[in-house]
């Protein structure tokens, strides 16, 4: 008979746990027979002693099967999922999913909501009037077969172990651990059922991983887990020192995603979308190399096919597809404020985390899970790292319905900018691709 106290002891002493012990912990914690205090003690022991590759895989598998798993077998073709470890201004899903789908890759995707300084795709999509982020399982599968893509919020019955453990990690200072992060992310991705997975591991001030070395450890770990589970998995390590693109905030980001699909997007988000969708097209078997995948991605983008795919996706999920042509249909902010440069020079830094927090202050993000958000609120950056700016020129604009919140957001955002006299190089967007 297994015993939780002995399992905690083993990990505290740095020993590896068996698959049975890990399963015992997960099932007992989900059914309530293992109390929070013992789970917290084990998490802290894991935090200090770590998990080896096999333990990380077993933890992922135990969490993956702790609730429902999605069966995508009725969808024809190689289904490819994409996941970002989270950032500021990251509207990539809304661009790469239509590009990959237009190239013939079936996309059956579950996305999350934003919390704290990071945003979530589900909130962004809800800025499209009448858009439904929740579909019945059959509707979801049928839509992918018919339209080529569907994106919904994560259903309540997927990976309950991860939900419960994440909530506990959040209040016990045990979030920041490679094995725990990798197993948390991969358990959800594996339960969601796609055949191949493209991971976008963010690195920089606005990401979980603040340096390249750590991002690489996390990326390798997740690629190993996916591979061990029999899924083709690759990870791109990408820049999150400054926000991605220029728009931060829900409706503002959807508009930027549409503009990118029209060929008018900011350079960084366009480049990232092409690289990631190129990987998805390659893993989905529609190209025989990443380079060929990139060529196909560029083709469907410039031909307008990806934009058409976005329109049919919005319509299929009940949304008003006219938003693609008429941005006045989006929730619009009553107020707007401008942050002006106080000196002339080159933008050397725009701290992503600070902009994420400032955007949350404008009303675009939520501090607690239950908080309501202002879908029209957010920040538009007129300057990015490397740009030249003159004193008095607009650095960023703030939108929202509550003036006090906007002022608060602008005050916070001012701290994010560093302007210097010497010319500044633009950051490299794609740092590394792992698992190709």
Taking the least distance from each CB to ligand URA, the nearer of 70 and 274 is 70
Tell me which of 181, 191, 373, 434 binds ligand URA, using CB under 6 A.
181
330 SS3 class? coil
Rounded to an integer, what distance in angstroms lies between the CA atom of residue 93 and that of residue 103? 15
Q: Does 339 bind ligand URA (CB under 6 A)?
A: no
Tell me which of 59, 158, 185, 339 binds ligand URA, using CB under 6 A.
185
Instruction: Return the structure tokens found at 326.
Output: 């008429």
349 SS3 class? strand
What minimum distance in Å lies between the beta carbon of 208 and ligand URA?
A: 6
170 labelled catalytic: no
Tell me which of 66, 184, 233, 354 binds ligand URA, using CB under 6 A.
184
Residue with tokens 């989905």: 284
431 labelled catalytic: no
Distances (CA, A) of 106 to 147, 257, 398: 9, 20, 37
Stretch that binds ligand URA, among 14-22, 177-185, 232-240, 357-365 (CB under 6 A): 177-185
Taking the least distance from each CB to ligand URA, the nearer of 170 and 343 is 170
Q: 398, 406 in Cβ contact below 8 A? A: yes
Rounded to an integer, what distance in angstroms lies between the CA atom of residue 333 and that of residue 338? 14
Rounded to an integer, what distance in angstroms lies between the CA atom of residue 402 and that of residue 117? 19
Taking the least distance from each CB to ligand URA, the nearer of 22 and 341 is 22
Contacts of 210 (CB under 8 A, 6+ apart): 203, 204
From residue 187 to residue 226, the character string flagging contacts with ligand URA as x (rule: CB under 6 A) and all else as - is: ---------------------x------------------
What minimum distance in Å lies between the beta carbon of 116 and ligand URA?
A: 11
Taking the least distance from each CB to ligand URA, the nearer of 213 and 326 is 213
Stretch that binds ligand URA, among 18-26, 99-107, 173-181, 193-201 (CB under 6 A): 173-181
Taking the least distance from each CB to ligand URA, the nearer of 147 and 181 is 181
Stretch that binds ligand URA, among 38-46, 180-188, 278-286, 377-385 (CB under 6 A): 180-188
Catalytic residue among 81, 90, 123, 162: 162
The conformation of residue 134, written as its DSSP 8-state character, comes to -
The conformation of residue 354, written as its DSSP 8-state character, comes to H
Q: 301, 261 in Cβ contact below 8 A? A: yes
Taking the least distance from each CB to ligand URA, the nearer of 208 and 417 is 208
Taking the least distance from each CB to ligand URA, the nearer of 166 and 327 is 166
Rounded to an integer, what distance in angstroms lies between the CA atom of residue 201 and that of residue 238? 6
188 labelled catalytic: yes
Report the DSSP beta bridge partners of residue 247.
Answer: 380
What minimum distance in Å lies between the beta carbon of 189 and ligand URA?
A: 9
What minimum distance in Å lies between the beta carbon of 114 and ligand URA?
A: 12
Give start and end residues of each alpha helix (H) in 265-344. 267-283, 290-302, 305-316
How many residues can be counted in the chain? 436
130 SS3 class? coil
CB-neighbour burial class of residue 427 (10 A; exposed 0-12, middle 13-18, buried 19+): middle
What minimum distance in Å lies between the beta carbon of 7 and ligand URA?
A: 21
What minimum distance in Å lies between the beta carbon of 184 and ligand URA?
A: 3
The catalytic residue positions are: 83, 162, 169, 184, 188
Residues lying near ligand URA in the complex (CB under 6 A) are found at: 166, 175, 180-181, 184-185, 208
């Amino acid at each position: 008979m297994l015993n939780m106290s002995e399992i905690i002891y083993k990990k505290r002493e740095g020993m590896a746990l068996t698959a049975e012990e890990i399963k015992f912990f997960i099932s007992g914690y989900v059914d309530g027979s293992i109390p929070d205090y013992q789970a917290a003690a084990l998490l802290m022991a894991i935090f200090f002693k770590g998990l080896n590759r096999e333990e990380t895989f077993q933890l992922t598998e135990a969490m993956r099967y702790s609730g429902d798993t999605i069966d995508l077998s009725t969808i024809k073709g190689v289904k490819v999922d994409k996941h970002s470890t989270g950032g500021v201004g990251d509207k990539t899903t809304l661009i790469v999913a239509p590009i990959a789908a237009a190239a013939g890759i079936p996309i059956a995707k579950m996305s999350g909501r934003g919390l704290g300084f990071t945003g979530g795709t589900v909130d962004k999509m809800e800025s499209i009037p009448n858009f439904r982020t929740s579909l019945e399982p059959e509707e979801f599968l049928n839509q992918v077969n018919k339209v080529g893509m569907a994106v919904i919020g994560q259903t309540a019955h997927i990976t309950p172990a991860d939900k419960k453990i994440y909530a506990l990690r959040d209040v016990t200072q045990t979030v920041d651990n490679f094995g725990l992060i990798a197993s948390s992310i991969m358990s959800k991705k594996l339960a969601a059922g796609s055949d191949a997975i493209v991971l976008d591991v963010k690195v920089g001030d606005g990401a979980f991983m603040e340096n390249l070395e750590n991002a690489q450890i996390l990326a390798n770990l997740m690629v190993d887990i996916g591979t061990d589970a029999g899924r083709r998995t690759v990870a791109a390590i990408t820049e999150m020192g400054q926000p991605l693109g220029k728009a931060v905030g829900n409706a503002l980001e959807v508009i930027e995603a549409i503009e990118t699909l029209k060929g008018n997007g900011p350079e960084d988000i366009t480049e990232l979308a092409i690289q990631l969708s190129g990987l998805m097209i390659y893993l989905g078997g529609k190209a025989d190399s990443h380079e060929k995948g990139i060529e196909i991605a560029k083709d469907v983008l410039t031909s307008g096919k990806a934009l058409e795919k976005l329109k049919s996706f919005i319509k299929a999920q009940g949304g008003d597809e006219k938003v693609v042509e008429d941005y006045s249909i989006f929730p619009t902010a009553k107020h707007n404020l401008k942050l002006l440069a106080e000196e002339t020079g080159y933008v050397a830094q725009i701290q992503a985390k600070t902009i994420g927090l400032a955007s949350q202050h404008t009303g675009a993000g939520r501090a607690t899970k239950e908080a309501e958000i202002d879908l029209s609120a957010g920040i538009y950056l007129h300057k990015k790292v490397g740009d030249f700016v003159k004193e008095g020129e607009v650095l960023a604009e703030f939108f929202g319905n509550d003036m006090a919140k906007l002022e608060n957001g602008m005050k916070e955002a001012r701290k994010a900018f560093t302007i210097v006299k010497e010319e500044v190089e633009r950051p490299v967007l794609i740092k590394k691709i792992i698992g190709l």
